[in-house]
C-alpha cells in the first residue's frame, strides 16, 4: 500500500464524541463531520472526496457512518473505488477495492440493508417514545425559533411590505419557518 491512510468520522450531533470511532487506528489524516447522515452535503466528506488519490485507504468506523441508505452507500463506494481508493469498514471488517468480487457486492448489499433496517427501527422507537411522552405531557417539542416579540415584529414588517426572503435572513430563519409564523398569526386573527 503506497498511499495514505485517511479516516472519516461522522457524528450526528455536536455533543457526541467522535474520538471513539477510529480510536487506535493509525491515520495520516482524518476528516470529521458533525452532521446527520441524511445530510448529503457534509463539508468534511466533500473535502475527503477531493483529497483522496489512487492508492489511498479510507478507514470508516461502520457502514452507517458513511451513508444513510443502501443506494447512497453503493454510490459512495463506487465513487471511491473508481478513483483507486480502498475503503475499510472497521466494525464490519469489510474492505472494498476496485477489484471487488461478486461476494463483496453481496456482502455490501446485505450489510447495508441491515444498517438501513436498524435505522428505521430506531426512528420508529423514537416516534413511539415521543408519542408516550406527549400523552404524559412531558414532550415539549422543538424550541421556537422566534420569541413572541420577534414573531410580532416579523408579522408587522411583512404587513409593511418588506421582502420575506430578506426578513428570513435578518431573523436567521428559513423561509418555510417564516411562512409558518405567518400562517400561525392568520389562525390567531381568525379565532
Give me the pLDDT at residue 48, please: 92
C-alpha cell at 97: 477495492
pLDDT tens per residue across all 191 residues of the chain: 578 999 999 887 655 667 778 888 889 999 988 876 666 678 898 999 999 999 999 999 988 888 877 788 888 888 999 999 999 998 888 888 887 677 777 777 787 777 777 777 777 888 888 888 888 888 877 788 888 899 889 889 999 999 988 988 988 888 888 888 888 766 554 43
154: helix, coil or strand?
A: helix
Decide if 4 contacts 56 (C-beta within 8 A): yes
The verdict on whether 104 is a catalytic residue reads no
Residue 47's pLDDT is 93
Residue 67's nearest CA partner among 17, 7, 25, 8 is 8
d(CA 98, CA 183): 53
Res 190: pLDDT: 42
The DSSP element (H or E) to which 190 belongs, if any, is helix 175-190
- Which residue of the set 12, 62, 104, 185 is catalytic? 12
- The domains of the chain are located at 5-115, 148-190
3-state secondary structure of 58: strand
Residue 24, pLDDT score: 82
Q: What is the DSSP letter of 174?
A: -
- Determine the Cα angle at 8 with ends 7 and 13, to 5°: 140
Res 87: pLDDT: 93
5-115 has which CATH code?
3.40.50.1390
Residue 58: φ, ψ to 5°: -105, 120
Handedness of CA 100, 107, 119, 19 (dihedral sign): negative
Model pTM score: 0.60
In the chain, which ranges are continuous DSSP H helix? 43-51, 63-66, 70-82, 102-135, 148-159, 164-170, 175-190
Q: Which three cell numbers stand for residue 102?
A: 461478486
> 7 — phi, psi (to 5°)?
-100, 145
Amino acid at each position: 500500500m503506497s498511499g495514505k491512510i485517511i479516516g472519516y468520522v461522522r457524528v450526528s450531533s455536536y455533543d457526541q464524541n467522535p474520538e471513539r470511532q477510529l480510536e487506535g487506528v493509525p491515520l495520516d489524516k482524518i476528516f470529521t463531520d458533525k452532521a446527520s447522515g441524511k445530510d448529503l452535503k457534509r463539508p468534511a466528506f466533500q473535502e475527503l472526496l477531493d483529497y483522496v488519490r489512487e492508492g489511498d485507504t479510507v478507514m470508516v468506523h461502520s457502514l452507517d457512518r458513511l451513508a444513510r441508505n443502501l443506494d447512497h452507500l453503493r454510490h459512495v463506494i463506487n465513487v471511491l473505488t473508481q478513483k483507486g481508493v480502498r475503503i475499510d469498514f472497521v466494525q464490519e471488517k469489510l474492505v472494498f477495492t476496485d477489484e471487488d468480487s461478486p461476494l463483496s457486492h453481496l456482502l455490501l448489499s446485505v450489510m447495508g440493508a441491515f444498517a438501513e433496517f436498524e435505522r428505521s427501527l430506531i426512528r420508529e422507537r423514537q416516534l413511539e417514545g415521543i408519542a408516550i411522552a406527549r400523552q404524559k405531557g412531558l414532550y415539549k417539542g422543538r424550541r421556537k425559533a422566534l420569541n413572541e416579540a420577534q414573531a410580532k415584529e416579523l408579522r408587522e414588517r411583512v404587513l409593511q411590505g418588506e421582502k420575506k426572503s430578506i426578513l428570513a435572513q435578518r431573523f436567521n430563519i428559513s423561509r418555510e419557518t417564516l411562512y409558518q409564523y405567518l400562517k400561525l398569526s392568520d389562525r390567531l386573527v381568525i379565532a
